[in-house]
Structure 1
Amino acid sequence: MNTRDWNETLRSLNVGLPDDVERLKAAGYYEEAIARIDAYLAEDWTKTQNSPYSQGLCPHMDVQPENPTPHGVDVLRDAMIAQREIMRRIPAEYTWSKADAIAEMQRRVKDFTPEEFEMLDRENRMDWRFVEGEKRYQNRFASTLIATHADLARRQIDPPAQPDSEKERCRRLHEKMAEQGSASARITLKASVGMSDEAFAAALAKAKAEGRDAVHVRAWLPLPAACLSQSDIELEEFTEEPTVIAPENAPQRTVCWEADLTENRSFGVQYSYRNTAVYTDPFDTPSAPEQPDFDTEEQPSHIVFTPYIKALAAQLTAGITDPMEKAKRIYDYVTLNVRYHYQPSYFIHESLPEHCARDRRGDCGIMSVTFITLCRAAGIPARWQSGLYVTPDEVGCHDWAMFYVAPKGWLYADCSFGASMARRGDETLRQHYFGNLDPDRMVANSVFAAPFTPPMLGFRADPCDNQTGEVEADGVGLYGDETVSSKELVQYIEE
């Protein structure tokens, strides 16, 4: 039975790949690349090392010299194991051919033309990769285009019903926080996670073929964690007795169930908490001459000070000595330059901040980790925070950042909301999300890419974060349509 946490192999992604595998991956020939990796992992270096035997000769040798790396270099093996899983998942994230993508846009947008598609493609407004020799577009390319192009949104053939304006809600909460010093809400949520019926049937069939009559399932759901903004946490109800409830200060707080299932079922929880957003002016107090150095380290494979990241951080902070001003310059860079794009699974990304800073596109999590990485490269403590965005009308996944400047302490930076306000031309609200949030949050995670309690050993669907839950069947991590999850607002009381 597997006892290793395979997610730890992802920390070695920056090591790279053998040249032949790297070229195959870049060209999108994933099946051949995976086959090459399998061959590398199976290689016995004692048999292929420099010797007469490796030349097809069998002369007399007194002593075969001992190879110091009989199974290869450990970090390269880990990199190949992680890359193999990434390449296994990529094709499911990029499924639209060019012809089908154009047809999908014509189905959703009035008078959309192939020429428009070509123009958007040249402008790099769609995420694509080569998959087995063919250019394929990311699954949510159409939703990204419509969400980020006002003209396309106006031309939708079947536009969705518009809820109450998010901008107006943010404006009202900002004014309340500025006038009263804070805003808070008492929120009750219900969540569940489990295997899809199809995935469970396949796992049960495999178990029976191996002489077992049940599937060993472990499931994790995020829980509200104790933090600066969150209090009065109550775990009100579970669908069944949990195996482990992580402490309130766990870096990625979860509830875990472990069961042998002969029939499929989901695991669920209902909880409540109070979230309080305290208003602050980041610049009303001079920064202290001495600043701390915690939370300024690299954290491979994503929070890494590459040459590009170091050069960008240096350019953004050149001539600035005040750490608050440095953080604001980094926030301005992200919110004014990075375009919002729906993303494929974070699992298949190899360097989130590097690609975001170069390509200038990302979603809330990618913007957040880019801000964190640039802050750390500039010597400013910064860390991750995430969970859910909760209003009386919706519940959705969301990520943001925290940064530290003495004597103010920990402050917030929601680059995604800031970028959204920049697109809408609301500078007041863009400025609000440097230093402040709002009470519409459920905080579950405070450390990027942290393990669960207990750790999930199979590859996670999202090794960076946890917002909808994870499932492991017989030691294998599930992802995509192999899992089913839900989030439901039970009660929202603004206080």
Structure 2
Amino acid sequence: MKMNSLRTPLPYDLELLKANGQFDLVNEMIDQRLKKDIPDGLKERLLLEKEVLKEYPKSFIYTKEQAFSLIQSHIKDFTEEEFDTLFKENAFEFIFIQGIMMFKDDIYDNLIKVHSNYRNRSDCKEKEDVILDSTIQKLMDEKEMKVKIHVKVSLKVKDQKEGNRIRVWLPIPVEYAQVEDFKILSMSEKGRVNDESVNHRSVYFECEYKKDMEFYVEYEFVNHMIYEELDPSKVYDDGYSLYLDQREPHYVFTTYLKQLCNQIVKEETNPLLKAKRIYDYITSHVTYSFVPAYMTLPSIPEFAATSLKGDCGIQASLFITLCRIAHIPARWQAGLYAHPNMIGNHDWAQFYVAPYGWLYADCSFGGSAYRNHKDIKREFYFGHLDPYRIPSAREVLQPLVPDKKYMRKDPYDHQTGEAEYIDCPISPEDIDTKQEIIEIKEI
């Protein structure tokens, strides 16, 4: 299914019904329309919309009353006036389902993650990340750091069809950039390992499914990070011309984004300083926020640039698009953030400036540092990165190898794993994935 068809607008009547949450009716009307002689591009868009519509009811589960009660159960003195003020300030994700306003399932978690004043009033006390702060300082002092990361990733399915042939993709690091000495230590069944040229790299399994079967791969590698002070006076144009183009559906140079880029960059001509202005704008103006499924957003960078909020991937997409508009090569990098005390999905960006080559930009970590008044940490995440990353995707919206027949659980990233039976899809709700830290240590 072609994700770039998101750029094709829905017919006006379907858009109005969708906005009111009449999803069943929209599906019925799409089925009728698909029987007609319509343009191929519109057909692709309507088929994709049927998949998009499945996403909304999964995560928008609370009425206003339920959302308020949930927050109040954790923040005892939370008031309806505060709820309404936050709503008007665009702090909550919501849609309409059958004409009823429904709020996202992570409304409370998002509130305390983004707003420290509510976090301090809640029953959740966030601990300061001393390990990360000390690691950054050590990397800045010593200019180089190598960290060995040893993890196990696994996948099981609840939708058990014994005897059916199953296909499974488990992400592994792409061997480039900061990744060195990658080794697979063990795996279930007999998997096929993608070579390092694959953008969404996997171990691929295909076999007859047996009851309670678990697929896993255990691997290790060295994350090698270099810290170098960036000097704008040393920057020059070496003619590098890759990663500058538009790429539908999201890296698109719309009039609004071009205007925003011009407003941010102004008269600056130095590529490093232009990228820094873009980074500074995003980290100071775009607030971190959990968001709906990416496939429900027709333009991820414009969502960030108009809502002025977004998660790590949305902020990375905006940075990449604005850099490309400013004639700075930029690309995606994503996978896992593997810290000694936690592991989870994360996205960030890279940009190219000679003589330094490919540099890093983590706008979400930089924005968090900005909000917590940690200027050194904010500056660090422009051009540099901590060594706690497992990059399993070096571009967004790339095919698996071999390609998946049915719709992917996450067509944008490759972070947790994918599965399907040879003759039918497996619902994302029926796929359990797990990432385990075996050991993370500096070497």
Does TM, normalized by the shorter one, top 0.5? Answer: yes
Deviations 1:116-168 (A, max 9, x none): 111111111001111121111111111000111122212223x26x55x32x3
1:481 corresponds to which residue?
Answer: 429
**What is the Cα deviation at residue 407 of structure 1?**
1.9
2:371 corresponds to which residue?
Answer: 423
Letter in 1 for 2:44: D
**What is the Cα deviation at residue 80 of structure 1?**
0.9
**What is the Cα deviation at residue 277 of structure 1?**
1.1
**Which residue of 273, 278, 283 corresponds with 1:335?**
283
1:404 corresponds to which residue?
Answer: 352
Structure 2 unaligned segments of length 5 or more: list them.
none
Work out whether residues 365 and 398 of structure 1, in 8 Å CA contact, stay in contact via their aligned partners in 2. Answer: yes
Q: Which moved more, 1:173-182 or 1:81-90?
A: 173-182
1:152 corresponds to which residue?
Answer: 118
- Secondary structure in 1 matching 2:268: coil
**Which residue of 36, 51, 70 corresponds with 1:104?**
70
Deviations 1:264-295 (A, max 9, x none): 42210100000011002222552214542210
Deviations 1:177-206 (A, max 9, x none): 22211112111001101212xx33xxx3xx
RMSD, aligned α-carbons? 1.6
Q: Which moved more, 1:357-366 or 1:337-346?
A: 337-346
For the residues of structure 2 that align with 1:142 and 1:438, how far apart are their CA atoms? 29
1:491 corresponds to which residue?
Answer: 439
1:239 corresponds to which residue?
Answer: 188
Letter in 2 for 1:232: D
- Secondary structure in 2 matching 1:374: helix
Deviations 1:74-131 (A, max 9, x none): 1111111111110122111211100110111111112112221111111110011111
For the residues of structure 2 that align with 1:171 and 1:89, how far apart are their CA atoms? 37
**What is the Cα deviation at residue 360 of structure 1?**
0.8
**Which residue of 346, 349, 353 corresponds with 2:294?**
346
Work out whether residues 191 and 485 of structure 1, in 8 Å CA contact, stay in contact via their aligned partners in 2. Answer: yes
Work out whether residues 223 and 444 of structure 1, in 8 Å CA contact, stay in contact via their aligned partners in 2. Answer: yes
Alignment of 1:246-257 (within 5 A): 246-257=194-205
Letter in 1 for 2:133: R
For the residues of structure 2 that align with 1:112 and 1:265, how far apart are their CA atoms? 46
- Secondary structure in 2 matching 1:344: coil
Work out whether residues 232 and 273 of structure 2, in 8 Å CA contact, stay in contact via their aligned partners in 1. Answer: no
Work out whether residues 187 and 493 of structure 1, in 8 Å CA contact, stay in contact via their aligned partners in 2. Answer: yes
Larger Rg: 1
Work out whether residues 232 and 270 of structure 2, in 8 Å CA contact, stay in contact via their aligned partners in 1. Answer: no
2:303 corresponds to which residue?
Answer: 355
Letter in 2 for 1:139: D
Letter in 2 for 1:103: S
- Secondary structure in 1 matching 2:228: coil
Work out whether residues 151 and 437 of structure 2, in 8 Å CA contact, stay in contact via their aligned partners in 1. Answer: yes
1:11 corresponds to which residue?
Answer: 4
**What is the Cα deviation at residue 414 of structure 1?**
0.6
1:29 corresponds to which residue?
Answer: 22
Work out whether residues 183 and 438 of structure 1, in 8 Å CA contact, stay in contact via their aligned partners in 2. Answer: no
Work out whether residues 285 and 408 of structure 1, in 8 Å CA contact, stay in contact via their aligned partners in 2. Answer: no
**Which residue of 151, 157, 161 corresponds with 1:195?**
157
For the residues of structure 2 that align with 1:24 and 1:156, how far apart are their CA atoms? 38
**What is the Cα deviation at residue 387 of structure 1?**
0.9
Going from structure 1 to structure 2, the CA distance change for 1:479 and 1:350 (only over 3 Å counts) comes to: farther
For the residues of structure 2 that align with 1:291 and 1:88, how far apart are their CA atoms? 45
**Which residue of 142, 146, 151 corresponds with 1:184?**
146
**Which residue of 94, 98, 101 corresponds with 1:128?**
94
Work out whether residues 380 and 404 of structure 1, in 8 Å CA contact, stay in contact via their aligned partners in 2. Answer: yes
**Which residue of 134, 137, 143 corresponds with 1:175?**
137
For the residues of structure 1 that align with 2:427 and 2:228, how far apart are their CA atoms? 40
For the residues of structure 2 that align with 1:101 and 1:143, how far apart are their CA atoms? 11
1:383 corresponds to which residue?
Answer: 331
Q: Which moved more, 1:175-184 or 1:445-454?
A: 175-184
Letter in 2 for 1:261: Y
**Which residue of 189, 206, 214 corresponds with 2:163?**
214
Work out whether residues 187 and 272 of structure 1, in 8 Å CA contact, stay in contact via their aligned partners in 2. Answer: yes
Going from structure 1 to structure 2, the CA distance change for 1:101 and 1:14 (only over 3 Å counts) comes to: same
Letter in 1 for 2:18: K
Going from structure 1 to structure 2, the CA distance change for 1:320 and 1:478 (only over 3 Å counts) comes to: farther
Going from structure 1 to structure 2, the CA distance change for 1:431 and 1:226 (only over 3 Å counts) comes to: same
Letter in 1 for 2:189: E
Structure 1 segments of 4+ aligned residues over 3 angstroms from their partners: 474-480
1:58 corresponds to which residue?
Answer: none
2:178 corresponds to which residue?
Answer: 229
Letter in 2 for 1:457: K
Deviations 1:234-254 (A, max 9, x none): 001002111x21112321111
Work out whether residues 155 and 431 of structure 2, in 8 Å CA contact, stay in contact via their aligned partners in 1. Answer: yes
> How many residues are paired up?
443
TM-score by length of 1: 0.86
1:279 corresponds to which residue?
Answer: 227
TM-score by length of 2: 0.96
Letter in 1 for 2:290: Y
Matched, 1:79 2:45: yes
